[in-house]
C-alpha cells in the first residue's frame, strides 16, 4: 500500500479560465498484500432505484431566419442532456408523424397525450444582427394542457453549449435535480507528453489544458463553487498539495512537507481533507480554507488520525459531519468512517475482497462507491450505508478505479483501461447502465466532479 512516487521537476504556469464547476478527489495508492477474509456482506449485481422516467415530447424548434444550423445544434445538445438525465424518456421523433403538426399558438394536447407524452417542450431559436443566439423554451403538462415553466437565453455562438447545458439544468431543476449539465470535470492527461491538469464538460466536450509544466500533476479536486482546484504536484521533487485559483491563475501551497495526496473538499468549500506523511506516517489531515487563508496563502492544518497504519483517500459526507477514508490498520486496506474531528472511527467494508480503496460519498449521503480488488480484477462497488448491502457497478476484466459522483447522484465518472488497455475516463449511471467513454487522446485519469 505504498503511495505512488512519480518524481520530476519544472515550473507551473496556470491558465485562468472561467467556468461553472464540478469535481472530487482521487487517491494515490497501490494494492497491499492480501490477508485473511473478514465478515461477508451480501453482493448483488445492480442498483435498482429511482422514479419512472417521464415521457417527454421534444419536437423540432421554431427557427428564425438564418438560424437553422444553430437550431439543429441546440436541439442535439438538449436532446442528449435530456436522455442523460434519467428523469426523462425522450419520445422517438417517429411518433410525431402520427399526430397533427404542432401549432404553437393552438396546441392540441389530446394529440400529444395520444402518443403517451407526459410533458411537451416547445422551443424557438433566432439570431440577431450581431450573430448572438436567442433560445426560448416552454414546458407543458400534457394531460391538463397547462404550461409549467419557460425561460429565454441569449449567448454568443461560442458559448452555445454552455447556454444549452444551463437550459437543461433549469429544466431538470423543476423536479428538484441539482445542476449537472453546465458543470465541469477536472482530470489528468498525458496527451501532450506530461501529466497535466485539464477541464472538460460533463459529456467530454471542450477538453482544455490548465497547467503547463514538466512535472507530474495528480489527483485534482474541484471546489464546490468551481473557482479552485486542489491537487498534488511534484514541484522540487516533493509531492506537495496546492490550490489553483482558476480565475486568477494563482497557485497556493497548502502543504509541502512529506507526501501529500488525495485532496477532497467539504461541501461548503471551507475545509480540505487530504492524506499526508508530514509527521512521518501517512495520516488524514484537514486544512481550513477561508478568505483570510487564501489571501495570505497560509492554511491552518489539523491532524485527524493517529495510528501505525497508512490512512488515505478521504471523502466528505454531504453534511460535512463525517469523513470516509481508507486504512490498512487492520492488515489490509479497508474503508472506515469517522467524525469530522477524527473521533468515532468505524470500519464499514468487510465483504468480498481484502482490498478496498478510493471511496466517494454520494451527494445524498446514503451510499459510498469504492474500488475493490477481487481475484486481481478491480471493479467499482456501492455500499448502502443503511442496509449494509453491496452492489457491483462494473463488470469487466479491466482495472476500474477513481470513482466520483455527479452532483445529482445519478451518474459516476471513473477511470478504466477496458478499451485497449489505455487508461481513459468513462461515465456510467448509478445502476450500471449507459456506459460512455469521454476521453480518447493519450492516457487520462483522476476525473473530478464537484458535489
The mean per-residue pLDDT over the stretch 272-276 comes to 98
The mean per-residue pLDDT over the stretch 340-346 comes to 97
Q: Which fold has domain 13-49+183-448?
A: Neuraminidase (2.120.10)
Percent of the chain with pLDDT over 70: 88
Assess whether pLDDT exceeds 50 at residue 11.
Answer: no
- 9-18, 28-37, 164-173, 239-248: the lowest-pLDDT one: 9-18
Residues whose CB falls within 8 Å of the CB of residue 304, separated by 6 or more in sequence, listed in order = 273, 283, 284, 285, 286, 323, 338, 341, 342
Assess whether pLDDT exceeds 90 at residue 163.
Answer: yes
Every domain of the chain and the residues it spans = 13-49+183-448, 54-85+88-173
Which tops the pLDDT comparison, 451 or 147? 147
Percent of the chain with pLDDT over 90: 82
Confidence of residue 46 (pLDDT cuts 50, 70, 90): very low
d(CA 24, CA 450): 5
Confidence of residue 42 (pLDDT cuts 50, 70, 90): very low
Assess whether pLDDT exceeds 80 at residue 329.
Answer: yes
Assess whether pLDDT exceeds 70 at residue 98.
Answer: yes
Give the pLDDT confidence of 403-436 residue by residue, as tens digits: 999 999 999 999 999 998 899 999 999 999 999 9
CA distance to 47, 61, 74, 123, per residue, from 78 (Å): 27, 11, 6, 11
**CATH C-level class of 54-85+88-173:** alpha beta
Can you give the pLDDT at residue 52? 77
d(CA 305, CA 338): 9
Confidence of residue 3 (pLDDT cuts 50, 70, 90): very low
Assess whether pLDDT exceeds 50 at residue 38.
Answer: no
The mean per-residue pLDDT over the stretch 216-228 comes to 93
In the block, cell 451480501 appears at 42
Can you give the pLDDT at residue 21? 29
Alpha helices (H) in 136-199, listed in sequence order? 160-173
Confidence of residue 19 (pLDDT cuts 50, 70, 90): very low
Closest CA to 271 of 306, 243, 232, 238: 243
The mean per-residue pLDDT over the stretch 93-107 comes to 94
Can you give the pLDDT at residue 28? 38
Burial of 331 (C-beta count, 10 Å sphere; 0-12/13-18/19+): middle
Assess whether pLDDT exceeds 60 at residue 37.
Answer: no
Can you give the pLDDT at residue 345? 98
Beta strands in 305-398 (DSSP E): 311-316, 322-327, 334-339, 346-347, 356-361, 367-374, 377-384, 390-392
- pTM for the full model? 0.86
Amino acid at each position: 500500500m505504498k503511495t505512488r512516487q512519480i518524481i520530476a521537476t519544472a515550473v507551473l504556469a496556470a491558465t485562468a479560465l472561467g467556468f461553472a464547476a464540478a469535481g472530487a478527489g482521487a487517491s494515490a495508492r497501490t494494492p497491499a498484500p492480501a490477508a485473511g477474509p473478514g465478515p461477508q456482506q451480501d453482493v448483488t449485481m445492480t442498483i435498482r432505484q429511482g422514479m419512472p422516467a417521464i415521457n417527454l415530447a421534444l419536437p423540432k424548434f421554431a427557427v428564425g431566419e438564418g438560424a437553422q444550423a444553430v437550431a439543429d445544434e441546440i436541439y442535439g445538445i438538449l436532446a442528449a442532456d435530456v436522455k442523460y438525465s434519467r428523469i426523462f424518456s425522450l419520445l422517438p421523433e417517429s411518433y410525431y408523424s402520427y399526430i397533427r403538426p404542432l401549432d404553437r399558438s393552438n396546441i392540441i394536447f389530446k394529440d400529444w397525450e395520444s402518443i403517451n407524452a407526459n410533458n411537451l417542450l416547445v422551443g424557438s431559436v433566432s439570431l440577431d444582427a450581431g450573430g448572438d443566439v436567442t433560445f426560448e423554451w416552454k414546458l407543458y403538462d400534457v394531460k391538463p394542457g397547462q404550461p409549467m415553466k419557460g425561460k429565454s437565453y441569449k449567448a454568443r455562438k461560442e458559448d452555445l453549449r454552455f447556454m444549452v447545458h444551463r437550459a437543461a439544468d433549469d429544466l431538470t431543476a423543476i423536479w428538484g435535480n441539482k445542476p449537472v449539465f453546465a458543470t465541469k470535470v477536472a482530470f489528468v492527461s498525458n496527451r501532450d507528453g506530461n501529466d497535466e491538469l485539464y477541464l472538460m464538460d460533463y459529456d467530454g466536450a471542450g477538453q482544455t489544458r490548465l497547467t503547463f509544466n514538466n512535472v507530474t500533476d495528480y489527483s485534482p479536486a474541484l471546489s464546490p463553487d468551481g473557482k479552485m482546484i486542489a491537487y498534488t504536484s511534484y514541484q522540487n521533487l516533493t509531492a506537495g498539495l496546492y490550490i489553483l485559483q482558476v480565475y486568477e491563475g494563482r497557485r497556493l501551497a497548502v502543504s509541502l512537507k512529506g507526501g501529500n495526496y488525495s485532496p477532497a473538499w467539504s461541501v461548503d468549500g471551507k475545509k480540505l481533507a487530504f492524506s499526508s506523511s508530514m509527521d512521518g506516517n501517512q495520516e488524514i489531515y484537514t486544512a481550513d480554507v477561508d478568505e483570510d487563508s487564501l489571501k495570505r496563502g497560509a492554511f491552518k492544518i489539523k491532524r485527524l488520525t493517529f495510528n501505525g497504519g497508512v490512512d488515505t483517500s478521504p471523502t466528505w459526507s454531504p453534511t460535512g459531519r463525517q469523513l470516509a477514508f481508507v486504512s490498512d490498520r487492520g492488515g489490509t486496506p479497508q474503508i472506515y468512517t469517522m467524525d469530522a474531528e477524527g473521533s468515532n472511527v468505524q470500519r464499514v467494508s468487510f465483504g468480498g475482497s481484502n482490498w478496498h480503496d478510493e471511496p466517494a460519498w454520494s451527494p445524498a449521503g446514503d451510499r459510498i462507491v469504492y474500488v475493490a480488488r477481487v481475484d486481481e480484477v478491480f471493479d467499482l462497488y456501492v455500499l448502502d450505508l443503511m442496509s449494509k448491502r453491496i452492489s457491483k457497478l462494473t463488470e469487466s476484466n479491466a482495472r476500474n478505479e477513481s470513482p466520483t459522483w455527479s452532483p445529482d447522484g445519478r451518474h459516476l465518472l471513473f477511470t478504466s483501461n477496458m478499451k485497449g488497455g489505455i487508461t481513459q475516463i468513462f461515465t456510467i449511471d448509478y445502476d450500471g447502465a449507459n456506459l460512455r467513454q469521454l476521453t480518447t487522446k493519450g492516457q487520462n485519469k483522476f476525473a473530478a466532479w464537484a458535489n
